[in-house]
């Protein structure tokens, strides 16, 4: 027998022995631990996500924020522009929940006067006067979600004032204004992200999948846009908005301006992802089976980038919210009567105000919370989606 | 080693590759100017008979994958032709477009090296194997399901595992799923691109046996790519040896092993490990490195590393010649050299 026949026989024998062994082992493995992994990507993502506590808390906070924003006009006791001039710059009131051992929320009455030396308004609580807080109370009329006329508020008082976060210089309730302002602050991010998603996803997937000179062009445009510092760019663009535009027009113009930079991020990320996916053998397999570009993009590439799209959208929310706040704070974004957190913060622009009426900073607190929550949620989603990429 | 016992050899040719060349341009700079070409496949000619297995071996980067993929029209060729037999006629693969090309794809399929990258992790086995059937609108609904079940049985997988995702399977099982997908459209030719290189040795034998069984049952033709001579030995009728984009030698497997006619083949054979611990081959160590495929040496591409190099080799490109029936060589001195086959190199 010659050398290599000998060898082949030897290898064959080896193969047979091992393969029998291997099959039994493989079988045993399949039945126990391996089965645990036989699940879809989405379910695995979800499982990983809910184990991340900060991310879940972030998600719940955001959900709560959006729920509150949706029913804002119902939740607050006053409307956006309702002035109670006798109570200007009222500090936040203390809410008492129990009276004589019974659950019976109330606030004390307020008496305003002027300090004879400084001429500042000072408020003293009147412990004699208990003002009970009533639930589902009839109050100022409003339109729920801008559609349904109503006048029932979640809570309120029949006389005096209930002000959880104090009032501003014109006696408007800060709590009501912050909650209603969240509608714009939170949706401008959503609309902006949605807009950048559409542009970014289309251009990113196209760029990555087809390559060539169009890809080159898109990449150069992205680089040019991103070589501008964003805040001055936004400022220049918003400053150019005609001042006679209606608030709604301004609102949409701002979202467009914000997504002008937002899409570049998404497009870059998706392009990179698609570039890598394009080289995967399963894409080649589909193509060699006769799949069209459309088939490959919709059946393989988009589903594979879906988790990235969600993660990137979540992670780009904070910068949108922050940008809107910054622009409005500087007086370049939304203008009253449109009210967002940024617009509200305009009142807190000088140090004297901050020292005397620190509660006017409350909108900033809400901005911070929402941004933190979005970041926590986004980080958690990213870790759950794909620990190696994004 | 298998003997091809088909009688009518010439009429039986299913694939003919003529002067096939594939260059990948190298781009540089902002304007993406072409500054050179990777000569991945360079002027390659051969033909394959129906039902046979042509093994293609070569080191990493020698252009095996590219060759297989250009034949399948995964990449557009730089020049040359590929003909494929369809309904008794040889049709030019590179002349087809659109629906014609799509139809041709049913006859030519591929099995990949990497059992991970080749299966979409987001799709179930059912979705993966049924994809080609859906693309071509072959079957639907219950019929589709039973067809996928059939395919799973053919490759030795449990039909009940149809709704699992690839991550529930081992490397060998994944490779079987890839094989089932390749078989879905009942192809005639399958390019097996190192289908077992990523697997454990024990599993390798199972997958090779499966491929052989399927070939016998279905009359498949294989282009079997490998970087390992001992793997192709078992499955191939003929073997082609590639170096820097060119086929250096092609011969029936037995002949290539016993009577190599190219110095590069001789060197490769000397590196095949021996089983008997008391014997050892004299390893021919090739001097130098593999040249850059974007700047291959002039003349014979192998001359920089050849033990038998002559002046002529450095200037003149050798011709692709059939020096004896079925034995093709790309070497000026193939008739003069007395090279060592696999047996005789032994201490
Ligand atoms: N899509 C591509 N673009 C540019 N160059 C490529 C491309 N594919 C392959 N090449 C180059 O072509 C040459 C041949 O590569 P190929 O993958 O065909 O070799 P191979 O023999 O299959 O190697 P391996 O054993 O590593 O799989 C290499 O130099 C490689 O870098
Ligand atoms: Mg390869």
In tens, the pLDDT along B162-180 reads 888 888 888 889 999 999 9
Cβ(B58) – ligand 1 distance below 6 Å: yes
Q: What are B279's two structure tokens?
A: 């014997």
Residue A49 domain-assigned (yes or no): no
Confidence of residue A23 (pLDDT cuts 50, 70, 90): low
- Chain B contact present for A295, CB below 8 A: yes
Which chain B residues are Cβ-neighbours of A25 within 8 angstroms? none
- Chain B contact present for A300, CB below 8 A: yes
- Mark yes or no for CB contact B110/A3 under 8 Å: no
Instruction: Please tell me the predicted confidence (pLDDT) of residue A33.
Output: 40
Return phi, psi of residue A137, to 5°. Answer: -95, 145
CA atoms within 13 Å, Cβ hemisphere of A52: 21
Picking from B122, B197, B341 by the largest number of A CB atoms within 10 A of its own CB, the best residue to mutate is B122
CB B129 within 8 A of CB B150: no
B residues 312-331 near A, CB within 8 Å?
Answer: none
Cβ(B244) – ligand 1 distance below 6 Å: no
Separation in Å, CA B127 to CA A46, A64, A173, B167, B344: 22, 38, 58, 14, 51
Contacts of A293 (CB under 8 A, 6+ apart): A209, A210
Cβ(B68) – ligand 1 distance below 6 Å: no
Question: Which candidate from A18, A34, A284 shows the least CB-CB separation from B168?
Answer: A34
Domain boundaries in chain B?
7-107+187-265
Q: In the predicted model, is pLDDT for residue A285 greater than 80?
A: yes
| pLDDT tens digits, one per residue of A197-223 | 888 888 888 888 888 888 888 899 999
| Ligand 1 binding pocket mutation candidate from B22, B63, B113, B193 (most atoms within 8 A of CB) | B63
Query: Between A362-385 and A53-70, two packed helices, what is the crossing angle to 10 degrees?
Result: 130
A297 and A194 both lie in a single domain = yes
A220 and A125 both lie in a single domain = no
| Boundary (domain end) residue, out of A132, A162, A192 | A162
Contacts of B281 (CB under 8 A, 6+ apart): B270, B272, B274, B345, B346, B347
CB A151 within 8 A of CB A140: yes
Query: Between A174-210 and A302-329, two packed helices, what is the crossing angle to 10 degrees?
Result: 140
| pLDDT tens digits, one per residue of B307-316 | 888 888 888 8
Calpha distance A39→B121 (Å, rounded): 10
Distance from CA of B337 to the nearest CA of A (A): 23
Q: Which of A225-229, B77-81, B216-220 is least confident? A: A225-229
Confidence of residue A28 (pLDDT cuts 50, 70, 90): very low
CA A217 to chain centre: 31
- Mark yes or no for CB contact A285/B274 under 8 Å: no
Ligand 1 centre to CA of B99 (Å) is: 29
Calpha distance B76→A211 (Å, rounded): 16
- Mark yes or no for CB contact A11/B105 under 8 Å: no
Report the pLDDT averaged over residues B101-105. 91
Return phi, psi of residue A361, to 5°. Answer: -85, -5
Question: Which candidate from A12, A18, A300 shows the least CB-CB separation from B120?
Answer: A300
Query: Between A362-385 and A302-329, two packed helices, what is the crossing angle to 10 degrees?
Result: 170
- Chain A contact present for B190, CB below 8 A: no
A269 and A127 both lie in a single domain = no
- Number of structural domains (chain A) is 2
Helix boundaries (H) for chain A: 3-31, 41-50, 53-70, 72-75, 174-210, 212-227, 230-239, 247-278, 281-288, 293-296, 302-329, 341-345, 351-356, 362-385
| Ligand 1 binding pocket mutation candidate from B21, B59, B61 (most atoms within 8 A of CB) | B61
Separation in Å, CA A151 to CA A77, A106, A161, A180: 10, 21, 17, 15
Strand order across the beta sheet in which B320-324 lies: B108-111, B189-193, B221-226, B53-58, B238-243, B246-252, B327-330, B320-324
**With pLDDT > 70 as the criterion, what percentage of chain A qualifies?**
88
Q: What are B304's two structure tokens?
A: 């920089």
Q: Which of A17-31, A216-230, B31-45 is least confident? A: A17-31
The CA radius of gyration of chain B, in Å to the nearest whole number, is 21
Bridging pattern class, strands B221-226 and B189-193: parallel
CB B217 within 8 A of CB B153: no
| pLDDT tens digits, one per residue of B197-229 | 888 888 888 899 899 999 999 989 999 999 888
DSSP assignment of B169-223: S-HHHHHHHHHHHHHTT--SEEEEESTTTTS-HHHHHHHHHHHHHHHHHHT-EEE
- Chain A contact present for B84, CB below 8 A: no
- Chain A contact present for B178, CB below 8 A: yes
Size of interface A-B (CB pairs under 8 A): 125
A185 and A322 both lie in a single domain = yes
SS3 A47: helix
Q: In the predicted model, is pLDDT for residue A104 greater than 80?
A: yes
CB A139 within 8 A of CB A118: no
Homologous superfamily of domain range B7-107+187-265: P-loop containing nucleotide triphosphate hydrolases (3.40.50.300)
Cβ(B281) – ligand 1 distance below 6 Å: no
- Tell me which of A110 and A296 has the higher pLDDT: A296
Longest pairwise C-alpha distance within chain B: 68
Calpha distance A109→A29 (Å, rounded): 72
A377 and A325 both lie in a single domain = yes
Instruction: Please tell me the predicted confidence (pLDDT) of residue A338.
Output: 81
Distance from CA of B166 to the nearest CA of A (A): 8
> Facing residues of B190 across strands?
B109, B222
Instruction: Please tell me the predicted confidence (pLDDT) of residue B333.
Output: 87
A249 and A303 both lie in a single domain = yes
Cβ(B61) – ligand 1 distance below 6 Å: yes
pTM, 2 dp: 0.75
| Boundary (domain end) residue, out of A162, A194, A214 | A162
| Boundary (domain end) residue, out of A127, A162, A197 | A162
CB B283 within 8 A of CB B271: yes
State the CB neighbour count (10 A cutoff) for residue B298.
12
A residues 257-286 near B, CB within 8 Å?
Answer: 280-282, 284-286
Calpha distance A276→A255 (Å, rounded): 31
- Tell me which of A145 and B64 has the higher pLDDT: B64
Bridging pattern class, strands A102-114 and A121-132: antiparallel
Instruction: Please tell me the predicted confidence (pLDDT) of residue B346.
Output: 54
- Mark yes or no for CB contact B135/A19 under 8 Å: no
Q: Which is it for the CA torsion B23, B27, B31, B33, positive or negative?
A: negative
Q: In the predicted model, is pLDDT for residue B21 greater than 90?
A: yes
Question: Which candidate from A35, A281, A300 shows the least CB-CB separation from B168?
Answer: A35
Q: Which of A2-16, A177-191, B62-76 is least confident? A: A2-16
Domain housing A224: 177-384
Return phi, psi of residue A258, to 5°. Answer: -65, -40
Here the CATH number for the domain that contains residue A184 is 1.10.3720.10
Instruction: Please tell me the predicted confidence (pLDDT) of residue B6.
Output: 44
A244 and A361 both lie in a single domain = yes
SS3 B288: coil
- Mark yes or no for CB contact A38/B122 under 8 Å: no
Q: What is the ipTM of this complex?
A: 0.88
CB under 8 A, 24+ apart: contacts of A251-255: A251/A184, A251/A188, A251/A334, A251/A338, A252/A191, A254/A188, A254/A324, A254/A327, A254/A333, A254/A334, A255/A188, A255/A191, A255/A192, A255/A195
A158 and A187 both lie in a single domain = no
Distance from CA of A230 to the nearest CA of B (A): 25
| pLDDT tens digits, one per residue of A229-276 | 877 888 888 888 887 888 778 888 888 888 888 888 888 888 988 888
């Amino acid at each position: 027998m010659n050398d290599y026949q000998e060898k082949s026989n030897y290898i064959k024998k080896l193969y047979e022995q091992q393969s029998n062994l291997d099959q039994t082992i493989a079988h045993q493995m399949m039945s126990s631990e391996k089965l645990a992994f036989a699940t879809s990507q989405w379910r695995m993502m979800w499982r990983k996500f809910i184990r991340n506590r900060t991310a879940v808390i972030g998600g719940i906070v955001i959900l709560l924020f959006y729920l509150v924003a949706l029913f804002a006009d119902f939740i607050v006791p006053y409307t956006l522009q309702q002035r109670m001039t006798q109570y200007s710059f009222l500090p936040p009131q203390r809410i008492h929940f129990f009276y004589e051992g019974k659950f019976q929320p109330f606030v004390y009455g307020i008496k305003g006067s002027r300090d004879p030396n400084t001429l500042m308004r000072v408020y003293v609580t009147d412990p004699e006067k208990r003002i009970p807080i009533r639930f589902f109370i009839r109050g100022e009329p409003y339109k729920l979600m801008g559609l349904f006329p109503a006048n029932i508020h979640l809570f309120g008082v029949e006389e005096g004032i209930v002000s959880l976060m104090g009032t501003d210089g014109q006696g408007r309730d800060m709590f009501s204004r912050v909650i209603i302002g969240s509608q714009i602050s939170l949706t401008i991010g959503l609309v902006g992200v949605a807009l950048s998603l559409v542009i970014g996803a289309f251009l990113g997937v196209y760029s990555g999948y087809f390559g060539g000179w169009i890809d080159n062009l898109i990449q150069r445009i992205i680089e040019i846009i991103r070589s501008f510092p964003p805040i001055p760019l936004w400022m220049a663009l918003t400053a150019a908005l005609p001042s006679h535009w209606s608030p709604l027009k301004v609102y949409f113009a701002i979202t467009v301006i914000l997504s002008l930079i937002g899409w570049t991020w998404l497009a870059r990320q998706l392009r990179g992802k698609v570039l890598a996916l394009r080289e995967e053998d399963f894409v080649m397999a589909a193509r060699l089976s006769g799949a069209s570009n459309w088939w490959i993009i919709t059946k393989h590439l988009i589903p594979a980038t879906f988790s990235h799209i969600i993660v990137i959208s979540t992670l780009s929310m904070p910068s949108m919210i922050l940008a809107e706040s910054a622009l409005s704070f500087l007086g370049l974004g939304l203008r009253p009567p449109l009210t967002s957190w940024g617009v509200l913060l305009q009142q807190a622009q000088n140090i004297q105000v901050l020292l005397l009426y620190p509660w006017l900073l409350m909108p900033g607190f809400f901005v911070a919370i929402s941004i933190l929550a979005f970041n926590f949620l986004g980080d958690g989603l990213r870790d759950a989606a794909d620990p190696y990429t994004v | 080693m298998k003997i091809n016992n088909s009688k009518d050899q010439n009429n039986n040719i299913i694939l003919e590759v003529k002067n096939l060349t594939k260059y990948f341009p190298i781009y540089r700079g902002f304007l993406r100017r072409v500054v050179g070409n990777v000569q991945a496949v360079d002027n390659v000619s051969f033909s394959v008979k129906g039902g046979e297995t042509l093994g293609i071996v070569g080191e990493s980067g020698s252009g095996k994958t590219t060759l297989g993929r250009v034949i399948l029209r995964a990449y557009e060729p730089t020049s040359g032709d590929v003909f494929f037999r369809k309904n008794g006629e040889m049709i030019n693969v590179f002349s087809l477009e659109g629906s014609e090309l799509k139809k041709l794809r049913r006859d030519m399929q591929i099995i990949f090296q990497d059992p991970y990258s080749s299966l979409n992790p987001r799709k179930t086995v059912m979705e993966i194997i049924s994809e080609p059937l859906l693309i071509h609108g072959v079957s639907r609904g219950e019929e589709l399901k039973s067809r996928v079940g059939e395919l799973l049985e053919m490759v030795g997988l449990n039909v009940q595992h149809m709704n699992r995702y690839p991550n529930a399977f081992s490397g060998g099982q994944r490779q079987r799923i890839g094989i089932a997908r390749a078989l879905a459209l009942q192809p005639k030719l399958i390019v097996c691109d190192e289908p077992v290189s990523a697997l454990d040795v024990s599993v390798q034998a199972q997958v090779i046996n499966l491929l052989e069984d399927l070939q016998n049952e279905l009359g498949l033709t294989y282009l079997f790519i490998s970087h390992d001579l001992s793997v192709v030995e078992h499955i191939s009728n003929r073997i082609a040896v590639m170096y820097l984009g060119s086929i250096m030698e092609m011969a029936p497997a037995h002949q290539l092993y016993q009577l190599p006619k190219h110095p590069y083949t001789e060197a490769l054979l000397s590196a095949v490990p021996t089983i008997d611990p008391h014997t050892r081959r004299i390893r021919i160590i090739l001097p130098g490195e593999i040249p850059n495929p974007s700047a291959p040496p002039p003349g014979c591409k192998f001359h920089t590393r050849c033990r038998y190099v002559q002046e002529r080799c450095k200037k003149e490109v050798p011709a692709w010649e059939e020096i004896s029936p079925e034995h093709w060589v790309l070497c000026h001195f193939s008739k003069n050299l007395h090279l060592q086959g696999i047996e005789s190199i032994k201490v």
